Amino acid sequence: MKRIAKGKVCLVGAGPGDPQLITVKGLKCIAEADVIVYDRLVNDRLLEAAHPQVEKIYVGKSSSGHMMSQVEINDLLVSKAKEGKVVVRLKGGDPFVFGRGGEEAEALAAQGIPFEIVPGVTSATAVPAYAGIPVTHRGLASSMAIVTGHEDSTKGESSIAWEKLATCSDTLVFLMGMEHLPQIVEQLLANGRPPTTPVALIRDGTGPRQQTIVATLANIAAQAAENNFTPPAVVVVGDVVSLRDKLCWFDNRPIFGKRVLVTRSRHQASKLSELLAQQGAEPIEMPTIAIEAMPDYQELDTALAGLSHYAWVIFTSVNGVDAFLGRLQKQALDARALRGIKICAIGPATAKALAQHGLVADYVPKEYISESIIEGFADKDIPSKRILLPRAEEARPELVEGLKRLGALVDEISVYRTVQPSEALSRGKQMLIGGEIDITTFTSSSTVRNLISLLARDWQSVNNTTVACIGPITAAAAIDSGLTVDVVAREHTIPGLVQAIVERYEQVGKA
**pLDDT digits over 337-353, tens only?**
999 999 999 988 899 99
| Topology of domain 8-121, CATH | Cobalt-precorrin-4 Transmethylase; domain 1 (3.40.1010)
Determine the Cα angle at 446 with ends 313 and 52, to 5°. Answer: 90
CB 495, CB 348: distance < 8 Å: no
* Helices and strands (DSSP H and E) totals, the chain: 19, 22
Judge whether residue 253 has pLDDT over 50: yes
* Section 196-222 average pLDDT: 96
| Angstrom distance (rounded) from CA 303 to CA 331 | 12
What integer pLDDT is reported at residue 55 of this predicted model?
Answer: 97
pTM comes to: 0.80
Q: Where are the beta strands (DSSP E) in 217-272?
A: 233-237, 259-262
| Angstrom distance (rounded) from CA 226 to CA 220 | 10
Which residue blocks in 145-193 are alpha helix, DSSP H?
Answer: 162-168, 181-190
| Angstrom distance (rounded) from CA 189 to CA 195 | 6
Could you confirm whether 294 is annotated as catalytic?
no
- Topology agreement, domain 259-289+421-510 and domain 292-419: yes
| Angstrom distance (rounded) from CA 478 to CA 459 | 11
Which member of 18, 39, 204, 438 is catalytic? 39
Bridge partners of residue 284, in order along the sequence: 261
CA dihedral 184→190→193→199, nearest 10 degrees, is: 30
Judge whether residue 266 has pLDDT over 80: no
What integer pLDDT is reported at residue 64 of this predicted model?
Answer: 56
Tell which residue, 59, 57, 126, 67, has the closest CA to residue 93.
Answer: 126
Cis peptide before 283 (omega within 30 of 0): no
* Section 440-447 average pLDDT: 94
Which member of 18, 80, 94, 176 is catalytic? 176
pLDDT in tens, 350-404: 999 999 999 999 999 987 777 788 888 988 889 999 999 999 998 889 999 999 9
CB atoms near residue 318 (< 10 Å): 19
What integer pLDDT is reported at residue 4 of this predicted model?
Answer: 44
Strands of the sheet with 290-293, listed across from one edge: 290-293, 409-419, 386-392, 312-315, 342-345
What percent of the chain lies above the pLDDT cut of 90? 80
| Angstrom distance (rounded) from CA 105 to CA 102 | 5
Instruction: Report domain extents, the chain.
Output: 8-121, 125-247, 259-289+421-510, 292-419
Could you confirm whether 258 is annotated as catalytic?
no
372 against 476, higher pLDDT: 476
Which member of 28, 61, 342, 380 is catalytic? 61
Judge whether residue 167 has pLDDT over 80: yes
Query: Which superfamily is assigned to 125-247 in CATH?
Result: Tetrapyrrole methylase, C-terminal domain (3.30.950.10)
What integer pLDDT is reported at residue 394 of this predicted model?
Answer: 83
Judge whether residue 153 has pLDDT over 50: no
Mean of the per-residue pLDDT values of the chain: 92
Tell which residue, 179, 159, 166, has the closest CA to residue 224.
Answer: 179
> Please, which pLDDT band fits residue 265 given cuts at 50, 70 and 90?
confident
Question: Range with the lowest mean pLDDT among 37-46, 56-65, 190-199?
Answer: 56-65
Tell which residue, 319, 303, 296, has the closest CA to residue 386.
Answer: 303
Judge whether residue 155 has pLDDT over 60: no
What integer pLDDT is reported at residue 218 of this predicted model?
Answer: 97
3 state DSSP class of 19: helix
Judge whether residue 62 has pLDDT over 90: no
What integer pLDDT is reported at residue 140 of this predicted model?
Answer: 96
What integer pLDDT is reported at residue 152 of this predicted model?
Answer: 53
Tell which residue, 237, 267, 211, 255, has the closest CA to residue 421.
Answer: 267
CATH 3.40.50.10090 for the 292-419 domain, yes or no: yes
| Angstrom distance (rounded) from CA 461 to CA 450 | 14
3-state helix, strand, coil in the chain (%, to 5): 40, 20, 40
Going by the DSSP 8-state scheme, the letter that residue 141 receives in this structure is B
Could you confirm whether 68 is annotated as catalytic?
no
Asked whether the CA dihedral 291, 297, 300, 305 is positive or negative, the reply is: positive
| Angstrom distance (rounded) from CA 102 to CA 108 | 10
- The matching CATH number, chosen from 3.40.1390.10, 3.40.50.10090, 3.30.460.80, 3.40.50.880, for 259-289+421-510 is 3.40.50.10090
